[in-house]
């Protein structure tokens, strides 16, 4: 079993970032989140890179969320705020990448995986890909304002509510129909499709791409409400602790939520 990690390489002017933790459906450890941030910063600092591709290893998942074993150490809402701040820092680096970005989803893109895919400019998926953020049925935590704005802006408010408030997992076909996906591509054709799209993106004037992306980012994410007290209340709750315990116990029953 290999150590969970972020793999980074490049082919010509295209960077490839791969989430490598297939034994856990590419759930992101703390080090992997920081590795994602570092990869994004590396892309931003290299003017010779013209496009970037994010992809999971193993064929079963893009990213299945965060490795939640660390949540057992949380003792207060402050721990939850610190966690969300760290995720926001890592995701903000992905938001700020000045070149065209592509998420290639093969399998599950849930939780943090949905967040990362939402940060990319374009998303392609294989027919069996699935998307969601069923935190209200699993952990009983919540998202930061930045994460909610990013996901809601990408999937649409209606789909976001279905994912979070109903815990629905959405198919690739529906996500294509709703405009979240650029294309659905058979697994055997995905590499060629990505090669063609990244080559086209790389032909664009880099300053035009940079200016356009930054303008869109500021319009979508530039002014957000302060929900720190809300986030702290949720992460400091007995429900959250109960959700983590139930999830790690791998039972099929939902936690006995009490609202406190």
The residue among 2 and 115 whose pLDDT is bigger is 115
Determine how β-strand 14-20 pairs with β-strand 108-110. Answer: unpaired
CB 149 within 8 A of CB 90: no
Residue 252: predicted pLDDT:
84
Query: All domains of the chain, ordered by start, with CATH?
Result: 5-187 (3.90.226.10)
Give pLDDT tens digits for 65-124.
999 998 999 999 999 999 999 999 999 999 999 999 999 999 999 999 999 999 999 999
pTM of the model as a whole: 0.97
CB 137 within 8 A of CB 246: no
Which residues, other chains included, contact 182 with Cβ-Cβ below 8 Å and sequence gap of 6+? 122, 123, 124, 197
Tell me how far apart the alpha carbons of residues 18 and 6 are, in angstroms, rounded to a whole number.
Answer: 6
Does residue 1 have a pLDDT over 70? no
Which residues, other chains included, contact 138 with Cβ-Cβ below 8 Å and sequence gap of 6+? 167, 243, 247
Q: Which two tokens stand for residue 152?
A: 């809601």
Task: Give the C-alpha distances (Å, rounded to integers) separating 204 from 12, 37, 53, 71, 212.
Answer: 15, 25, 16, 43, 12
DSSP letter for 107, please: S
- 166 — pLDDT class (breaks 50, 70, 90): very high
Residue 2: predicted pLDDT:
79
Give pLDDT tens digits for 217-233.
999 999 999 999 999 99
Does residue 4 have a pLDDT over 90? yes
Average pLDDT of every residue of the chain:
97
Q: What average pLDDT does this structure show over 151-162? A: 98
Does residue 37 have a pLDDT over 70? yes
Residue 251: predicted pLDDT:
86
Tell me how far apart the alpha carbons of residues 238 and 255 are, in angstroms, rounded to a whole number.
Answer: 11
- 63 — pLDDT class (breaks 50, 70, 90): very high
């Amino acid at each position: 079993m290999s150590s969970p990690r972020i793999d980074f390489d490049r082919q010509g002017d295209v960077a490839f970032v791969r989430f490598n933790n297939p034994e856990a459906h590419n759930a992101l450890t703390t080090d992997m989140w920081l590795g994602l941030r570092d990869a994004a910063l590396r892309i931003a600092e290299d003017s010779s890179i013209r496009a970037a591709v994010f992809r999971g290893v193993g064929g079963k998942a893009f990213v299945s969320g965060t490795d939640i074993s660390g949540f057992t150490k949380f003792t207060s809402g402050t721990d939850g705020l610190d966690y969300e701040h760290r995720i926001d820092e890592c995701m903000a680096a992905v938001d700020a990448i000045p070149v065209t970005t592509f998420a290639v989803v093969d399998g599950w893109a849930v939780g943090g995986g949905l967040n990362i895919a939402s940060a990319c400019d374009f998303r392609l998926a294989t027919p069996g890909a699935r998307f969601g953020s069923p935190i209200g049925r699993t952990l009983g935590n919540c998202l930061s304002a930045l994460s909610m704005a990013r996901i809601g802006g990408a999937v649409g408010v209606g789909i976001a509510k279905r994912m979070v408030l109903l815990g629905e997992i959405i198919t690739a076909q529906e996500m294509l129909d709703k405009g979240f996906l650029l294309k659905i591509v058979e697994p055997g054709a995905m590499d060629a499709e990505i090669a063609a799209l990244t080559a086209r993106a790389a032909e664009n004037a880099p300053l035009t791409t940079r200016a356009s992306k930054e303008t869109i980012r500021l319009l979508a994410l530039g002014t957000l409400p302060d929900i720190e007290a809300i986030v702290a209340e949720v992460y400091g709750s007995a429900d959250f602790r109960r959700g983590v315990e139930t999830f790690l116990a791998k039972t099929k029953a939902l936690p006995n939520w009490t609202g406190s």
